Each structure stands twice: as C-alpha cells, then as structure tokens.
Amino acid sequence: MNADKTAGYTAVQIVQRAQLRAEAAIEPDAPATGAPTKSTQIIAIYGKGGIGKSFTLANLSYMMAQLGKKVLLIGCDPKSDTTSLLFGGKACPTIIETSSKKKLAGEAVAIGDVCFKRDGVFAMELGGPEVGRGCGGRGIIHGFETLEKLGFHDWGFDYVLLDFLGDVVCGGFGLPIARDMCQKVIVVGSNDLQSLYVANNVCSAVEYFRKLGGNVGVAGMVINKDDGTGEAAAFARNAGIPVLAAIPAHEDIRRKSASYEIIGRPGTQWAPLFETLATNVAEAPPMRPKPQTQDELLALFSSDAVGRDVVLEPATLVDMVGRDEAVKPSLEVVYEQV
C-alpha cells in the first residue's frame, strides 16, 4: 500500500480499509436460474406509462386463471387503472382510500373491502395520494404495509402480479427490487426510445441491487404494439434477456382494449398468444441483465429518429448576455509554491 496515502492512519484503520477494498472487489453471486423456491411466484412488471402494462396484465392474469392457476393482480400505479380493463372499465376501490375512510370511522380494513374477483382472477389497487398532496412512492409503501397486516404472506396464490410504473425511480416504486419482495421482474416496452429507456432503467436498478446482495432478476420483456421494426427485440438481445411475447399493433386489439374487453380468452383469436405468454412468464428464470449506455440505446434507432448526427455547439458569453464582456480579474488568492 502506498505510504503517502496511508499517512495519518492507525494500523487498525489501514487493515479495515484493506478489508473493505477486498470485500468491494468480490463479484456478487449469479442470480438463481432454477425453479423458484417459494410456492408463490411474485412477479413485478414495469414499463413506461401508457405502454400497455395494464392491458397486458389484465389479459395475462385472465388467461392464467382460465388455465387453472390462482392469480392475484395488484395495481401499484397511482393512476389506479390496472384493474379497470379486468372489471370492464369499473373503478376498483383503492387500499389507500379505503384504509383512510376506515381509519376515520374507527374500523379495520377487511379483505372484502379492497380485493375483488372476476372469473377466477383476484385483483386490487394500492392507489395513491391526490395530485399535489403526497408522494406516490410513499403511497406504495403504505399500501404494502396494509397488505402485510391483511396477511399477504400467508395467501395461497400461484402467482402475484405487481403492476408498477417505470417512469419514476423513487424508492417506493423500486420496493420489490430493493427489498427482494419478488423473485423476478418483467419489463413491457415497444419499438420507441422512451419505453426502452424506461426498460433500461429497470435493468439498471436490478443490476444495482444485485451488487448490493439482492436476488431479483429480469425474466424478460413483453413487446407491446409491435410494428415489426425490431428495436425492442434488439434491446432485449443486447441486454441479455428473452422476449416473452410480442403483441402486434393490430386494430382489433386496439379497438377491443379501448372498449375494456378481455382478448386473452381461451378459444379466441388471441388466445394462443396469451397462452404462450402465460407459460413463458411462469417458466422464465430470473436473469442478470446488462444495462445499456445512452449511446447503445441510441444505436438501436436510425439517426433520423434520434438525431445522432447533431453536433453539440458550445455556448459563448455573447450568446448569454448579448454583448462582449470584459474579462474580470479573479478574486481568488493564489499562493506561490515554495
């Protein structure tokens, strides 16, 4: 060890610093790739707002239930719209809103107050604060605390699907990854830069917490509104994660989704797509992703689409104030070296 860098440290401090460096240099273990050890698979789904997470999850959970699985869908988006498609457009009372009302009335929250079902799918919404009146991430934390009081860890589901907004990076929305509350993560994206930017952020979060000793991995990507241009598939390939399904940009899907109609029904045109997705979601192992740099993301698109040919031109003082300014002497005191 360099003597100049250790000057002033005690022998004990030098040893401690060496131990810390050695510990920091140890690579974390690879994520588990076998079957989940827990009987319930808890899967967090992330994606850009409006990319189609709720549409994907409503149809996925419905198909899973029709295949004989016991499924719980939990909306973790402050918009509280995860279950709207499942329930034909009807709003589901949120846990946060319900618990606040029950608390004012001096009553306890019961399962039937916040959890509802349709054709074998159980669903609930965590909810969030009113606009400008609180932090959405804190609302997520409060919602999960309420779920734990209701016995969340004792519920006997085959799958619990958590719908998370991926645009934000605050602690509440990263809770499942940071606290190992799920076994794996799925990202929903499309062939556009912004949705892939969000998907890449989620991969970065997973990798960050892996380095801190976490166990969550990315099981793969669902490409929604796939127009065949291939950018999302290329991102998944570069990030080292599989494509679990590609849902086409089809007018029939758009029209039925807009009218709150479930298309993932057995025996329908789109049933094979969601049956395959259900199987892939269940069987895909958690992978350790390779987050992409900004330049690597941009390289997925043509220069016409992302403006890579633009040259950064430094601004000048004249640009800022509209005139030349005399160079003012610095007031910094400079000492001559002896």
Active site residues: 48, 53, 79, 167
Amino acid at 233: A
Tokens of 224: 């929604």
